[in-house]
Amino acid sequence: MYSPKLKVVVTEIMQETPIVKSFKLSAAEGMLPGFSPGAHITTYLETDGGLLERHYSLAGNPLQDEYYKIAVRRSETSRGGSVHWHDRMKEGDTLEISHPQNHLPLSFEGRHHVFIAAGIGITPFMAMMPQLAAEGKSFELHYAAASEEYCPFYSEIGTAYGKRVRFYFSSQRERMPTRVMWKQRIGTHVYFCGPEAMIRQFKHAALDYGYPPSSIHYELFSPPDTGPCLPFEAVLTKSNIRLRIPEDKSLLDVMLEHGIDAPYSCKMGGCGSCEIEVEQGEVDHRDFFLSDHEKNSRNVMMPCISRAKSNLLIIHA
């Protein structure tokens, strides 16, 4: 679905840790739309290698801020996005972004909220905690990082939320255990944001502890690494077109390149926005959205990240 882009100005850059910078983005004209805790934006970066789309959680206070704040971790395996933000972006630069979208909203039904973050995965919780604190609601944060020096927003979080926060630093051989979710009060909701392996571990543990799926929330900040990407072909029956999907592109990418109107949002297999029906062929499911039961019982796939186990998929699109 098309949504008009917003033009913003980088009004402040802060070095939060040796490898994380935060950026305040203000409206180039007028005011920015409000956002809800857990929301993210897509940034559109004009680089020497072409246009890059990157998604970042909004880390500011949704009750007070008239700007958007994002934090970007510099990655040694960057495909251009984090390097551009760290090395090229300057205060006063302009860029286009999407309107805020939210695939990790706070639950209004939650009686207690347990936030579990690793590294840069803290960003969505930076918007959730001030909202809950202002409303007098119950929450706690468990936050893993390499050390105090490499922990984004360490001082800010400790000062604001005190005993509600527990830090775990690998430099001190501390490990964040899944048992922080054990024996929580009835009505507790848990939220995870961090590397794929951590999310899988805590999600499975939460289910084992008896949390209903509706009380488990998570967001990926990078696509999951699920093995080699082999080329395949897809026949789109409604569009009457045959596509070849190379190793380095997703089915969704190729569909968009061919002008096919395909809805999408996160491009990481976490939101379900791009779900399409599969008429024939075996799907290599790589998303986090569908349950194991749905993957086995429904003839659908997330073309942003899932691929084919067979050489050919026939798609109802």
What is the domain partition of the chain in residue ranges? 6-102, 112-219, 232-315
Share of the chain above pLDDT 90, in %: 73
Q: Which CATH architecture has domain 232-315?
A: Roll (3.10)
Q: Spell out the CATH class of 112-219.
A: alpha beta
Which CA distances in Å does 170 have to 37, 61, 151, 174, 177?
28, 28, 11, 5, 12
**CA 284, 285, 286 angle in degrees (round to 5)?**
110
Beta-bridge partner residues of 192: 116, 218
pLDDT digits (tens, 9 = 90+) for 165-217: 999 999 999 999 999 999 999 999 999 999 888 998 999 999 999 999 999 99
- CB burial string 98-107: b at 16+ within 10 A, e below: bebbbbbebe
Common-topology check for domains 6-102 and 232-315: no
Residue 76: pLDDT band by 50, 70, 90 thresholds? confident
Query: Considering only 45-49, 84-88, 171-175, which range has the smallest mean pLDDT?
Result: 45-49
Q: Please name which of 20, 90, 34 lies closest in space to residue 66, comparing C-alpha atoms.
A: 34
Q: What is the pLDDT of residues 114-155, one digit of tens each?
A: 999 999 999 999 999 999 999 999 999 999 999 999 999 999
Pick the CATH number of 6-102 from 3.40.50.1820, 3.30.930.10, 2.40.30.10, 1.10.3720.10: 2.40.30.10
What pLDDT is recorded for position 276? 94
Pairwise CA distance, residues 224 & 212, whole Å: 24
- Beta 94-97 vs 40-47: how paired, if at all? antiparallel
